[in-house]
Amino acid sequence: MAVLSKPAQPAKPTGLKVTVRADKSLEVRWEADGEIVMFVLDQRFYQMGTFGWGKPDHSFVHEVNREENGCAKLVPFPATVPKTQPWVMTLTLKAKSQDGVLSDPAEIQLAWDDEQTEGATSKDLYQRSINFERNQVAPFLQAKRKLKILLIGGQHHGKSSLGNHLDRCFHSDLKRFDQLDQAPAGTDERTMGTKSLKLPVGSNEITFIDTPAFSAMDEETMKRLHTLLSIHTPEGTRRQNLTDNLEQDTWGFSGKPPHAAIVVVSLLHWRDQQDEMQKYLRKTADVFKNASWKTVEFPYVVAATHRDEFLKDVQKEDPMSALQKAVAGIKKFALTDHVYAITNYKRGSLASAAVNEETFDLLAQLAQVPAAGCPNFVILATLDFLDDSTAG
């Protein structure tokens, strides 16, 4: 009697890649060798935070005929999955032979925050701006003090994008054009000199000062950062001009020094260059802790940017836990509990309730710090006769 040989298992597809379009439809591409007639793509959605706990909340199977479609599939976002919730999505791709035998799976995981509708986006941002103005920042601004906040950090961590993000949030309008130049990914340094961005808060304003990158935290850079924290710097000041001239302007007669700073740290840099980032943050924190008169620390918070890319790229793990772990690590090395994970909104994007909340928590924290005893606040009480036009 002839022995029937078992049909061979096809090779697993390779190079599985997914691009997420703005409407969250997926461009899926891969490569495959051998006698394959079809691919089976299994798509599963888990509510963020429940991933790894059992059954998916939604699942879909897509079949791709190799002869007709090759090794690619455009997968629309399913109408039954609400975009207003954060999701973890897994894609499992198997090749199928003529004999109906399936290959081992190639897998990829993606995740993203909730997405508000256009109407909900402007309503939520408007409400948060009003609350911030009335409850958080009013006591400081009512005393006619203009809050000046520095945006500092390494190259391409998202300092200028944070300025644009805050501008869009304060105006409750994510369609606003960029106010500060951002760097296309991978290019040279974008911001070469300090640039102010004044944002309206009721009848007052907060000035955010975008700065050139402070990348390697060597002794020279630390001195320059110290100078930047301690004196008023005219618009357009370049990094190399921040010499240690603290003695010349201790009392800020040429203008008011900044009140606080946002240290901008990309979660992607933190993930990929952790040793380097740990040293960088510790040295930056050292400068803040010893900024003015070496007795009182300079107020700062940390914006951990690229939350969207970070969540999207987490594989085989609950993305929210991975994010919390990264934030905890940044807190430890930046020597502060005030670390907020955000996505800098680009023009035309939709907001996420989670990101709006982190953004306004960061701002609320910043508004608390100067009133609570920043040394510059004490100086300002005596220097309020200064014309604001000199204050930059």
Q: Which of 124, 308, 318, 358 binds ligand GTP (CB under 6 A)?
A: 308
Q: With H, G, I as helix, E, B as strand and everything else as coil, classify residue 144.
A: coil
Nearer residue to ligand GTP within complex by CB, 43 or 191 = 191
Nearer residue to Mg ion within complex by CB, 23 or 188 = 188
284 binding partner (options ligand GTP, Mg ion, none; Cβ < 5 to 8 Å by kind): none
Nearer residue to ligand GTP within complex by CB, 146 or 283 = 283
Token pair, residue 284, equals: 């930056």
Start-to-end CA distance of the chain, whole Å, equals: 94
Please tell me whether residue 358 binds ligand GTP under the rule CB under 6 A.
no
The alpha-helical segments, DSSP class H, found in 45-106 are: 66-69
Please tell me whether residue 115 binds ligand GTP under the rule CB under 6 A.
no
Minimum CB distance to ligand GTP, residue 375 (Å): 27
3 state SS for 4-28: CCCCCCCCCCEEEEEEECCCCCEEE
* Of 93, 101, 103, 102, residue with least CA distance to 73: 93
Q: Which of 18, 37, 138, 183 binds ligand GTP (CB under 6 A)?
A: 183
Minimum CB distance to ligand GTP, residue 235 (Å): 16
Nearer residue to ligand GTP within complex by CB, 39 or 345 = 345
Token pair, residue 382, equals: 């005596």
94 binding partner (options Mg ion, ligand GTP, none; Cβ < 5 to 8 Å by kind): none
Please tell me whether residue 272 binds ligand GTP under the rule CB under 6 A.
no
Nearer residue to ligand GTP within complex by CB, 162 or 367 = 162
Token pair, residue 163, equals: 């300025």
- Of residues 203 through 232, those in contact with ligand GTP by CB under 6 A are 213
Please enumerate in sequence order all residues whose Cβ is within 8 A of that of 172, keeping only pairs 6 or more positions apart, or say none: 121, 122, 123, 125, 126, 129
Minimum CB distance to ligand GTP, residue 61 (Å): 30
Size of the site for ligand GTP (CB under 6 A): 22
Give burial (CB, 10 Å; 0-12/13-18/19+) of 224.
buried
Q: How far apart are CA 33 and CA 366, in angstroms?
A: 56
Q: How far apart are CA 330 and CA 334, in angstroms?
A: 6
Measured N-to-C along each axis, helices 159-170 and 353-371 cross at an angle, to the nearest 10 degrees, of: 100
Please tell me whether residue 284 binds ligand GTP under the rule CB under 6 A.
no
Minimum CB distance to Mg ion, residue 183 (Å): 6
305 binding partner (options Mg ion, ligand GTP, none; Cβ < 5 to 8 Å by kind): ligand GTP
Nearer residue to Mg ion within complex by CB, 73 or 190 = 190
Please tell me whether residue 161 binds ligand GTP under the rule CB under 6 A.
yes
Measured N-to-C along each axis, helices 319-334 and 274-289 cross at an angle, to the nearest 10 degrees, of: 40
Please tell me whether residue 159 binds ligand GTP under the rule CB under 6 A.
yes
Minimum CB distance to ligand GTP, residue 17 (Å): 17
Nearer residue to Mg ion within complex by CB, 121 or 182 = 182
Please tell me whether residue 168 binds ligand GTP under the rule CB under 6 A.
no
Q: How far apart are CA 315 and CA 318, in angstroms?
A: 8
* Of 49, 137, 103, 199, residue with least CA distance to 362: 137
Q: How far apart are CA 310 and CA 333, in angstroms?
A: 19
Please tell me whether residue 256 binds ligand GTP under the rule CB under 6 A.
no
* Of 310, 141, 283, residue with least CA distance to 224: 283
Q: Which of 129, 136, 160, 356 binds ligand GTP (CB under 6 A)?
A: 160
Piece of the chain touching ligand GTP by CB under 6 A; list 83-91, 97-105, 181-189, 375-383: 181-189
Minimum CB distance to ligand GTP, residue 178 (Å): 9
Note the residues at the interface with ligand GTP (CB under 6 A).
Answer: 153, 155-161, 182-185, 189-191, 213, 305-306, 308-309, 343-344
